[in-house]
Amino acid sequence: MKLTEKVSDYMQFRQSVDGFLNRHFNDVCTLTCYRSRTSACCSKDGIITFFADTVVNALHATPAQLDHLETVLGRVNGGNRCVYLGSDGCIWTVRPVVCAMFLCDRAMNAVFSDEPGVNLGYRSTLMHLNLSPGLLRVKKLAGLK
């Protein structure tokens, strides 16, 4: 079995997440981050990118896309924006999972106030990072939800 076949369930999950985000958050996020080319969520030195993210991206990217990503990583990021944010959005072919699962407070407030039913929650075994007991305890001690 090829490695691309082994990650097919994960890719279906990611397509589901992207579909949800496109339906509910596209307008807010496009205006807030992409058009302004700013991003509250990350910078090259602040983003958590797992080895698995890199492998999945490499499996689905073209050599030219990987070369572009490597070139961008060699640049100094002197601004308040994600180094991976290009003119058409994220330059990763398959965004890192923490990026895909991140929603800033501004976006959540905008979407959930208009569509409260969207905030009913979603559970997946692939969300272990977001639901880890250690992270939940740290958030509780910090007074966060």
Angle 58-86-12 from CA coordinates, rounded to 5° = 45
- Is the pLDDT at 68 greater than 90? The verdict is yes
Distance CA 119, CA 103 (A): 12
In the predicted model, what is the mean pLDDT of residues 134-144?
Answer: 78
- Is the pLDDT at 107 greater than 90? The verdict is no
Place of tokens 């905008």: 110
**Of 25 and 129, which is predicted with more confidence?**
25
- Is the pLDDT at 129 greater than 70? The verdict is no
Please give the pLDDT value at position 12.
Answer: 93
Strand residues in the chain grouped as ranges (E): 85-86, 89-90
Q: What pTM value is reported for the model? A: 0.69
- Is the pLDDT at 106 greater than 70? The verdict is yes
Distance CA 72, CA 80 (A): 15
Please give the pLDDT value at position 59.
Answer: 94
Please give the pLDDT value at position 36.
Answer: 67
Most confident of the following: 22-26, 82-86, 127-131: 22-26
Q: Which of 77, 98, 99 is nearest to 33 (CA)?
A: 99
Q: What is the mean pLDDT of the chain?
A: 80
Residue ranges covered by each domain of the chain: 3-120
Please give the pLDDT value at position 58.
Answer: 94
Angle 16-81-11 from CA coordinates, rounded to 5° = 20
